[in-house]
Structure 1
């Protein structure tokens, strides 16, 4: 799913998820060794805590994830989760509008926030001895957000301008926005995270207040701290900050689900600002929550198909001179069924129909012959080659672990990812490909200067 950052959009055609914006595990240590070595605790009021010790420098990353995103909005109010994310910086009775970020900056830190379909997250990077400060600030706005009408209307205009800048003025993002409802004909993943313009304009204050009261409680939140700390230190600080908030429970997600995909669907979008045509082919795919073994195989399949010069699509489309680029992506870290995506961009002078035909032939060959031992082994080596560096990024572990827990994946899903990927076989990759890459269920889109693919 796509993910919106408060100051910039993490955009593009499907990735995952990833996580739309979270760094993926590039890593693989010995099978028995956890990737991050995260430790967990739970406060009496329901808050889940995660600590990833990292002693390289006296700094910490502090994140709060809420198990709510754009897919949890009421019908007709798309963009409300993202709107509320903006308004979380507008103050409480204790902290004035904009003062949260100014306090973090005065301490030499930085902060930001992001919204996805399944979660909303807030983070700060500060010196380790300032951790209690950001915890108090974050706990304050979890419980005491004002949502003053004088702040809501100006921020609504900011978001409408953001939509114009990052969606309407960027043809590829506009294309992606229009393609999603063809894949998700009933599920709210088909709605844009930022919202449709007419619905952003219609979101009332009362709905924002109710949304915050329902979802922004400790029982629906995950605290993740990575850096120069111990679990005992973080728990003690959490008890005197978040622990003082009243207990709340987990909020059950109730969403309409997709019917079985029937019939190929197509989109041809014209935009004179486009220099070179872009193709996307999407398939509905299971998530790691629903089918963890199949999800691992789909990750390897995406690498086999579209991960650079040794991949099947690259050889079929780029090496043949038909396309300037070709790739594949799968993001299994979501609450509900996700997407497996293929992308290609024809070379100048090459008719789009030739690229689409070649892509179809490459897929048919894979489904007919199955995945080979050599290409699967190579994909696994490439995917897990850099795992020793997975903990080098201050935010990398916090974002990866937080995003997984926010969609109800177990911590082991992250910690033992390298060993699971190493266990994927060619037979499993072939089985996953045949289950997901069904031509009769595909969504195909073309973005061209004139709207014509032929």
Structure 2
């Protein structure tokens, strides 16, 4: 496999990787340094809205619930230029990709948005042309904005079960908000605001274009150079500067209606993770710690102590570790039997941590945890679209480091895992009580 990185003066950073096992497929990822942390005051969700508006769809317009696309209906007239229904069937971005035998989607994170597409390699030039086209022709109408804000409102309602993450994030990193948005704020968005956000953030110096698969690097480089040169000029310096993260708050308590398992009450314990860029090894040590605990310590806690019905730890917002370079969190969820309080759950969590901090895990347990993580990391890297997205994040957010770092994971030692446990012991968690499902 060969990796080529090019930084043209008038286009996005280009990363091309030729992958022998791709067998006639190619994946494209356009990663943009525009996420929820860039939302203007009073317009929480603007980055998410612009992500939606980058899919000018016609009769194949699709509403997504829990990240899945659903029912389609006609809306091409909502975009400038109009067009007949017959034209709409072939002029939608999604329809063009699907007509080429491919699939496409996008994700908005706190510090970036990524658009990803997988197609037969024979259609790669067309897909690259479509990517350049939607950057050049971004011009949603007021009606399109209204429709998309309604779609996002549905997504927000559908994601209500993940609100424990948002609660913990806001407590651990004061001022941080999820990238979904606030429906009432987005409902007031004007066309001029959407265009201003796009113009400020979707510029060549804030983008990475990644192409992975059964591709010829020289041919891709030439094609991208001709299509993207000047497509989005470099920033004029007016893009917003994200505020530095603030310090962690003291532990707080709240009640959130979120089931951990059926009919289970419990406690969520939030911790701030080390900086994923400046303290990458320490960050990854927490990821390994979570796997070690999942394989031994948590099951042992539940077996021996009837006060607790379940326990688990997830690193990274929504359980996606190294999915962004923004200040990140770990979430520990403990299911509690009736009558068990938050203080008891915190004490049990500290006991689990102390066991690792005082006596680092033995070599066999450490190796098993690492092997589990490495298998998952390698399986992810085998997926072309995951490789393309990883290259984009690495170039844009992580200073060139791969964002699915199998080699770096393998280098984490038992002593570093013990250090991670000690770091969590030294920082009191944010405590959130949650109530279970229907009784």
Q: TM-score normalised by the shorter chain: which range applies?
A: 0.7 to 0.9
Out of 93, 115, 125, the residue aligned to residue 122 of structure 1 is 115
Out of 19, 29, 36, the residue aligned to residue 70 of structure 1 is 36
TM-score by structure 1 length? 0.79
Confirm or deny that 1:180 pairs with 2:143. Answer: no
Alpha-carbon contact 1:317-1:358 (below 8 Å) kept: no
Q: Deviations over 1:250-275 (max 9, x none)?
A: 97662223333242122222469973
Out of 289, 301, 304, the residue aligned to residue 316 of structure 1 is 301
Distance 1:129 1:312 in 2: 50
Distance 2:364 2:26 in 1: 42
Confirm or deny that 1:379 pairs with 2:369. Answer: yes
**Higher RCO structure, 1 or 2 (CA under 8 Å, sep 6+):** 1
TM-score by structure 2 length? 0.82
Structure-2 residue corresponding to 1:32: none
Distance 1:125 1:272 in 2: 35
Per the alignment, in what secondary structure is the counterpart of residue 255 of structure 1? coil
Give unmatched runs, 5+ long, in structure 2.
58-78, 316-320
Distance 2:173 2:96 in 1: 42
Structure-1 residue corresponding to 2:278: 290
Alignment of 1:8-19 (within 5 A): none
Structure-2 residue corresponding to 1:198: 184
How has the CA–CA distance of structure 1 residues 386 and 107 changed in structure 2, closer, same or farther, with 3 Å as cutoff?
closer
Alpha-carbon contact 1:333-1:404 (below 8 Å) kept: no
Query: Structure 1 stretch 198-207 or stretch 328-337: which is displaced more?
Result: 328-337
Per the alignment, in what secondary structure is the counterpart of residue 229 of structure 2? helix
Structure-1 residue corresponding to 2:265: 277
Alignment of 1:422-441 (within 5 A): 422-440=410-428
How has the CA–CA distance of structure 1 residues 139 and 439 changed in structure 2, closer, same or farther, with 3 Å as cutoff?
same
How has the CA–CA distance of structure 1 residues 249 and 271 changed in structure 2, closer, same or farther, with 3 Å as cutoff?
closer
How has the CA–CA distance of structure 1 residues 222 and 272 changed in structure 2, closer, same or farther, with 3 Å as cutoff?
closer
Q: Deviations over 1:93-146 (max 9, x none)?
A: 789776111111222222211111111111222111111111111111112211
Give unmatched runs, 5+ long, in structure 1.
1-35
Deviation of the 1:61 alpha carbon? 1.1
Alignment of 1:20-419 (within 5 A): 37-56=2-21, 57-90=23-56, 99-167=92-160, 172-186=161-175, 190-245=176-231, 247-249=233-235, 254-270=241-257, 275-306=263-294, 310-318=295-303, 320=305, 322-330=307-315, 331-346=321-336, 351=340, 353=342, 355-385=345-375, 389=379, 391-411=381-401, 413-414=402-403, 417-419=405-407
Distance 2:379 2:152 in 1: 37
Per the alignment, in what secondary structure is the counterpart of residue 209 of structure 2? strand
Structure-1 residue corresponding to 2:61: none
How has the CA–CA distance of structure 1 residues 37 and 266 changed in structure 2, closer, same or farther, with 3 Å as cutoff?
farther
How has the CA–CA distance of structure 1 residues 329 and 269 changed in structure 2, closer, same or farther, with 3 Å as cutoff?
closer
How has the CA–CA distance of structure 1 residues 253 and 375 changed in structure 2, closer, same or farther, with 3 Å as cutoff?
farther
Deviation of the 1:194 alpha carbon? 1.4
CA-atom RMSD, angstroms? 3.0
Structure-2 residue corresponding to 1:443: 430
